[in-house]
Structure 1
Amino acid sequence: MTQIHPTAIVSPGAQLGQDVEVGAFCTVGPQVQLGDGVRLVSHVVIEGATQIGARTTVHPFAVLGGAPQHLAHKGEETRLVIGERNIIREHVTMHTGTVGGGGVTKIGSDSLYMVGAHVAHDCIVGDRVTFANNATLGGHVVIGDFVFMGGLCAVHQFTRIGRYSFVGGGGVVTKDIIPYGSVWGNHAHLEGLNLVGLKRRGFTREAINALRAAYRLLFADEGTFQERLDDVAEAHADTPEVMEIVDFIRSEANRPLCLPEREV
């Protein structure tokens, strides 16, 4: 039941699953794999070694699997792997990885990428994320599950953004964002917790209250940051959500931590 429009160009080496729809003027390269039920609406370019999971829909003028925008890339074969049930809107671009970055860009499942969003080489993006219009990732960025990226925001290369975080529209993120955090501004600073997102995702009142208490203690004025981090870990050792923040901060990182602005 696969449907290929007469004006589409599908290379002989491409692998198409069942019930795939390739619309008008699409181009599908020889190393592309399209899962069952993938729909390319029209004018879509899928190139490189790109794998797209089942029931993903790609809208016009998206370009997926292009070579990385990296001067060290010399044409080596690298990959783009996209999960299932994603909605990829107009003019979205996602690039393959680089040899130095592991060779693969990984996109999760069940996500929405709005008009003009960009995922650069070697990024790892989780499940159920939302990228609003023109949200942009530099190379090697790691995005956790359920993250919301506001319109026109930009993320510096090698930055980590923890699960359930919210990046406000126009935010320029140059530092790591804790899980459940909410950041705004240019350059972005931590404004608190993503309480709206937590409530929408069904977090219990007890978990939210524990996160709020931990946040207040972690970013208080008393003591050193390390002392406060240890206090949070001790006080909330039985709260998985709080310990996720603690583990995120303690883990090895390439970028500094995004912190609240201090009042002058």
Structure 2
Amino acid sequence: MSLIHSTAIVDPKAELDSSVRVGPYTVIGAHVQIGAGTSIGAHAVIEGHTTIGEHNTIFQFASLGAVPQDKKYAGEPTRLIIGNNNTIREFTTFNLGTVTGIGETRVGNDNWIMAYVHLAHDCVVGNHTIFANNASLAGHVTINDWVILGGYSLVHQFCIIGEHAMTAFAAGVHKDVPPYVMAAGYRAEPAGLNTEGLKRRGFSAEQIANIKNVYKILYRQGLPYEEARAQIVALADTAPELAVFKDFFAVSERGVIR
């Protein structure tokens, strides 16, 4: 029995593993590749040079691989790459990359992406993230592993959100968010640490204390940003959980939320 519904339109050039399920009225384009065990609901559209890995669940009405919302885009064969074990809910929109960016939009593994989420061109999403409903990324945004975006969060183009960071409902992220930091507000400001989340992920009391110390250096001691950053980078070699700060500051160009 075919796992592709009779009303689905799948281009003969598309490459689908024999175990892929495709729901009614879904459209899949010629340059799409989909790995084993992935399930696609009804009325989804997957187009462009899009590669989807294994065991993903893509719900009805998702739009993956459409051309970027960028006036400079001129039809170049840019890509959307999605990893394994992701849940992608209804009405999500993931766009292709651009040649003025990195040429592709990337989503890693084990992400939980809720309804109406938008990923613009050239975004990079890591692993184990949660995007609540209507969270939206502008172009060239980087979301690192274990990040949680609250509902209706908006992230400005070229921003970076560090590992284990979290945004509150309707946060407007206009600068980079350091690892572990909670960001809240229309123009997002630091609002503490997601301590309970870290405990659930297995961080020890000592590790959390080290992270709290970094937060104090950055936000509580009144230090100039460059001085605080230098102190934190020096600490990054003293404990594994702090190493992410060194990597974060090496690539952060917009400055951090203050």
**Which category of TM-score, normalised to the shorter sequence, fits these structures?**
over 0.9
Post-superposition shift, 1:240? 2.2
Task: Report if aligned partners of 2:106, 2:124 keep a CA contact under 8 Å in 1.
Answer: yes
| 1:199 Cα offset (Å) | 1.2
Q: 1:37 to 1:243 in 2, by over 3 A?
A: closer
- In structure 2, how many angstroms separate the alpha carbons of the residues matched to 1:191 and 1:214? 14
Deviation at 1:197, TM superposition (A): 1.7
Per the TM alignment, residue 219 of structure 1 is displaced from its structure 2 partner at its CA by 2.2
CA change 1:155–1:31 in 2 (3 A) is same
What displacement does 1:18 show?
2.8
Partner letter of residue 41 of structure 2?
V
The 5 Å alignment of 1:207-246 reads 207-235=207-235, 237-246=237-246
What is the match of residue 124 of structure 1?
A: 124
1:161 partner amino acid: I
**C-alpha separation between the residues in 2 aligned to 1:30 and 1:235?**
50
Question: Aligned letter for 1:254?
Answer: E
Spell out the pairing of 1:165-176 with structure 2 (5 A cutoff): 165-176=165-176
Hey, what does 1:162 align to over in structure 2?
162
- The residue aligned with 2:256 is 257
Q: Distance in 1 between matches of 2:51 and 2:103?
A: 14
Residue by residue over 1:128-167, the C-alpha shift from the partner in whole angstroms, topping out at 9 and shown as x without a partner, is 1111000000000000001001000100000000011101
Distance 1:155 1:222, change over 3 A: closer
The equivalent of 1:52 in structure 2 is 52
Secondary structure at the aligned position of 2:70 is classed as coil
SS of residue in 2 equivalent to 1:190:
strand
- Equivalent residues of 2:147, 2:164 under 8 A apart: yes
Pairs within 5 Å for 1:158-197? 158-197=158-197
Q: Deviations over 1:174-216 (max 9, x none)?
A: 0000011100000111112221221111111110011112211
- Conserved 8 A contact 1:210-1:236: no
CA distance in 1, matches of 2:256, 2:176: 5
Residue 221 of structure 1: how far off its partner (Å): 3.5
- CA–CA distance in 2 between the matches of 1:252 and 1:215? 19
How high is the sequence identity, in percent, across the aligned residues? Answer: 42
Q: What is the CA–CA distance in structure 1 between the aligned matches of 2:84 and 2:109, rounded to whole Å?
A: 5
Secondary structure in structure 2 of the residue aligned to 1:106: strand
Aligned residues: 258
Query: In the alignment, is the contact (CA less than 8 A) between 2:236 and 2:245 conserved in 1?
Result: no
Secondary structure in 1 matching 2:213: helix
CA drift at 1:33: 0.4
Instruction: Say what the alpha-carbon RMSD is for the aligned residues.
Output: 1.5
Contact 2:150 2:166 in 1 (8 A): yes
Helix, strand or coil at the partner of 2:23: strand
The 3 A distance-change label for structure 1 pair 223 and 254 is closer
Match of 1:71 in 2: 71
Checking the alignment, whether the CA contact within 8 Å between 1:165 and 1:177 is kept in structure 2 is yes
Cα 1:70/1:208, change in 2 over 3 Å: same
Alpha-carbon shift at residue 222 of structure 1 (Å): 4.5
Q: TM-score, normalised by structure 1?
A: 0.93
Work out whether residues 62 and 93 of structure 1, in 8 Å CA contact, stay in contact via their aligned partners in 2.
Answer: yes
Q: 1:245 to 1:48 in 2, by over 3 A?
A: same
2:140 aligned with 1:146: no
Aligned residue in 2 for 1:5: 5
Unpaired segments ≥5 residues, structure 1: 260-264
SS of the equivalent of 2:244 reads helix
2:38 equivalent in structure 1 = 38
1:92 corresponding residue in structure 2: 92
Q: What is the CA distance between 1:232 and its match in structure 2?
A: 3.5
Gaps of 5+ in 2: none
Cα separation, 2, equivalents of 1:97 and 1:222: 40
Q: How big is the shift at 1:236?
A: 5.7
